A and B are shown apart, each in its own frame.
Chain A
Amino acid sequence: MNTAINFKKNRKRNKIKENKSFKIAKIIMFIIFVLHAATILSAFAWMILSTLKEQMEFSLNKFGLPQKWLFSNYAKAFETLVDDATDTSVYKMIFNSLWWALGGTFLTISCSVMMSYAIAKFKFRGRDFLYGTALFAMMLPIYGAMPANMALLNDLGLYNNPLILITCCNGLTSHFVMLYAIFKSVSWSYAEAAYIDGANHFTVFFKVMLPMARTPILALWIMMIMAKWNDYMTCIIYFPDWLTLSAGLFTYQLIHVRDANTPVLFAGLVICMIPPLFLFIALQNKVSSLTIAGGLKG
């Protein structure tokens, strides 16, 4: 009897101790979170405030509020942030970014969806080989592919060509593995019902299975559009004459190291970060659904 009481007492004491230690850990982590978030938010706030100053004012008064709120710097950014070497204006850069982000995402996700659906839901010769190949390609570390890629694109006439977009028709990417898991988890009984009603394979795919997997697919779309919008390396290396906004801002900074108007440059950077930020804020619930509905199994 005494032992049982002692055991209960010990458990209660341990629980109180643990609650205390968890509270302390939570407070410490909260302070770290606040400090980290503060550095991020204050840095961006400083940048946004700086976009509203004149160059001279920016040099003399780095931290204060702007004397005149020069929203015209944003209009100036559209006029001045031009890449002279390729004669690319900001409007052209935005168009190129949209071409690359939307076009590239459409091709990659479409090819991955088609490939993963066929492999996840149909039995055919070579199915296991294709699935194994996708996993193998993910696992195999390939270095030095850049020189070969460059040489191959040159041979195919795709280097510095907007048609380079066809390199995005990649069906066996990491997206394939995620989409494969998503289609595996979608019930086949709806497809069976559609077949009985006389639907063919294409109808079942477009009208039954795709709508059922639409949320995680949309999440992949959003993530990929953001990644491609922000991608500057691919543009600089493989299509340098068709500058995207990210790549254009980078080259502008490189060329105008000494004579750049910092507030105007910052305004350009803010313009560049608005679309992905807006997309994320508007659709963040869909993005978080990706890790819950499919993605990596936890």
Chain B
Amino acid sequence: MEQNTEIQQKTTFKQKLSRLHHKIFDVKNDTMPKSLSKGKNFFVFCMVIIGILHFAVFYVGVNYKAIVLGFQKEVEGTTVFTFDWFIAFFKEFSYEDSVLMTCFKNTLKYFVLNSFFLFITGYLISYFLYKKILGYKIFRVVFYMFGIISGIVVVALFKSIIAVEGPIYTIVKEITGTELPFLLKDDSTATNTIMIYCVWTGLASNFILLTGAMNRIPEELIEAAKLEGCGWFREMTGIVTPLIWDTVGTLFILSFIGIFQASGPILLFQTPESTYTFSYWIYLQVTAGSNNYPAAIGLFVTVITLPIVFLVRHLLSKIETVEF
């Protein structure tokens, strides 16, 4: 009798474990005929092998190579492992007027612009599009144009608009009588001009994802809030935001992951050294044939970013997500 109860308990535990496993991994395919079990392994192998090989070569291999390159140096024809590149980086970074310091300052400027200012404007625009503001269908297409059209086209257009004798130059001259400087070649105005370009093209950033998430909110929830006298601002901050927090949080974390990649289209603008960012500087180094120094800096920046990303992720995870 006792033995039976033990077996029963064991079965129940096994069943529970299996149910838990099914719940976690959502396994629904165990119902397939047994004759297909052998074929299943071959099928799964065919499905994943290319992806795994690619990952091994172009992710693991590349990152391994990046680590090796960061420590490698050619000395009198032989390759040695050294910290020289990191030492050179710290030395260069300590000078106030070094290119790397300029890159660092500019990168942070773009990061703040993209991750805070443009994130907020994008969110506001998404909310009003979700609220079906007059002409919202047309605005959706117009605002998405920068996502469809190549940066080459938009930058060329922007350059022509702000060029000397261009539309902006002519309008300002006719209204105020003053002549604008060559905005993209002047050190004092170049970065700000590119940032204005970023605002122009990124004002409605992420709106496709955000409106998509907002559209999934059940209408009854919003109606109930309205009946309780909830205003639009409270609705946006207190109801919509928590309901789409997964999307907002993911976008926010992604922006922190790319903190040191934040940049404007410097390559397309061909602006002076005072506008350089980390990512553009690395591009210049690589195209000039230098691999080790940028790899070392890339490694250092990765190490700096990791704790920042995990901290942001930890802080964001503390905010409770509302299920619906």
The reply to whether A140 and B70 form a contact with Cβ atoms under 8 Å apart is no
A: contact size bracket: 35 or more
A171 at the interface (CB under 8 A from B): yes
B40 in the interface (beta carbon within 8 A): yes
A201 interfacial by beta-carbon distance below 8 Å? yes
Question: Contact: A141 with B203, CB < 8 Å?
Answer: no
Cα distance, A292 to B50, chains bound together (Å) = 29
CB of B208 within 8 A of chain A? Answer: yes
What is the chain A residue whose CB lies nearest that of B257?
A141
Segment of B1-9, B164-172, B176-184 engaged in the interface with chain A: B164-172
Contact A123 B267, beta carbon cutoff 8 Å? no
A150 an interface residue at 8 Å Cβ cutoff?
yes
Q: Point out residues on A near B: beta carbons under 8 Å.
A: 11, 14-15, 17-18, 21-22, 25-26, 29-30, 33, 36-37, 39-41, 43-44, 46-47, 50, 59, 62-63, 111-112, 114-115, 117-119, 121-124, 127-128, 130, 133, 137, 139-152, 167, 169-172, 176, 184, 188, 191-192, 195-196, 200-202, 205, 226, 229-230, 232-233, 237, 246, 249-250, 253-254, 262, 265-266, 269-270, 272-273, 276-277, 280-281, 284, 287-288, 290-292, 295-298
Other-chain contact of A280, B135, B144, B161, B270 (Cβ < 8 Å): B144
Known: A250-B268, A298-B212. A143 touches B261 (CB 8 A): yes
| Contact present for B157 and A47 (CB under 8 Å) | yes
Across the interface, name the chain B residue whose C-beta is closest to A12.
B229
Partner of B150, one of A122, A272, A280: A272
B43 touches A202 (CB 8 A): yes
Which of B58, B69, B203 makes the CB contact (< 8 A) with A36? B203
Within 8 A of A (CB), among B257-315: 257-261, 267-268, 270, 278, 282-283, 285-287, 290-292, 294-299, 301-302, 305-306, 309, 313
**Sample of 6 A–B contacts (CB below 8 Å):** A122-B44, A124-B44, A184-B26, A200-B43, A202-B43, A297-B213
Beyond the given pairs A36-B204, A144-B296, A291-B212, 18 more chain A to chain B contacts, judged by CB atoms under 8 angstroms and listed by A's residue number, are A44-B145, A122-B29, A130-B48, A130-B52, A142-B63, A142-B302, A144-B297, A145-B66, A146-B294, A147-B286, A151-B69, A188-B28, A226-B147, A254-B270, A270-B153, A276-B149, A291-B211, A296-B213
- Which of B31-39, B73-81, B97-105, B108-116 interfaces with chain A? B31-39
Contact B66 A46 (CB under 8 A): no
* B194, CB-defined interface residue at 8 Å: no
Q: Which residue of A lies closest to B137 (CB)?
A: A284
Given A139-B257, A170-B58, also A122-B302 (CB < 8 A): no
* Cα-based distance from A251 to B118 in the complex (angstroms): 30
Residues of A within 8 A of B299 (CB): 143-144
> Are B231 and A296 within 8 A (Cβ)?
no
Task: Determine if B203 and A265 form an interchain contact, defined as CB atoms under 8 angstroms apart.
Answer: no
Q: Is the CB of A62 within 8 A of B167?
A: yes
Residues of A within 8 A of B195 (CB): none
B25 an interface residue at 8 Å Cβ cutoff?
A: yes
User: B125 at interface (Cβ–Cβ under 8 A)?
Assistant: yes
Closest chain A CB from B316 CB (angstroms): 12
Bound state CA distance, A124 and B30, in angstroms?
A: 11
Q: Are A295 and B66 in contact (CB under 8 A)?
A: no
Q: Please, which residue of chain B has its CB at the minimum distance from the CB of A13?
A: B229
Known interface pairs A62-B167, A141-B305; A148-B142 also in contact (CB < 8 Å): no
Given A114-B48, A292-B216, residue A141 in contact with residue B302 (CB < 8 A): yes
> A146: which of B59, B258, B286 is its contact (CB, 8 Å)?
B286
State whether A148 touches B295 (Cβ < 8 A).
Answer: yes
Known interface pairs A36-B203, A148-B66, A292-B216; A171-B148 also in contact (CB < 8 Å): no
Q: Which of B61, B150, B160, B232 contacts A21 (CB 8 A)?
A: B232
Complexed CA–CA distance, A25 and B232 (Å): 9
- Residues B216 and A298 in contact, CB atoms below 8 Å apart: yes
| Cβ-defined contact, A249 with B152, below 8 A | yes
Task: Check A128 against B213 for contact (C-beta < 8 Å).
Answer: no
Given known A192-B31, A195-B36, contact A148–B125 (CB-CB < 8 A): no
B283 touches A237 (CB 8 A): yes
Q: Is B141's CB within 8 Å of the partner chain A?
A: yes
CB-based contact B32/A40 at 8 Å: no
Also in contact, A111 and B305, with CB within 8 A (given A30-B133, A118-B48, A147-B298): no
Q: How far is the CA of A163 from the CA of B304 in the complex (A)?
A: 35
Q: Given A36-B203, A169-B54, A171-B51, check contact A233 B267 (CB 8 Å).
A: yes
CB pair A33–B51 under 8 Å, yes or no, is no
Across the interface, do A171 and B232 meet the contact criterion of CB distance under 8 Å? Answer: no
Query: Could you tell me if B29 and A171 are in contact, using CB atoms closer than 8 angstroms?
Result: no
Contact present for B213 and A147 (CB under 8 Å): no
The residue that A111 contacts in the complex, of B44, B50, B165, with Cβ under 8 A, is B50
Q: State whether the Cβ of B221 lies closer than 8 Å to any Cβ in chain A.
A: no
Q: Tell me whether A144 and B295 are in contact (CB under 8 A).
A: yes
CB contacts (< 8 Å) of B203 on chain A: these are: 36
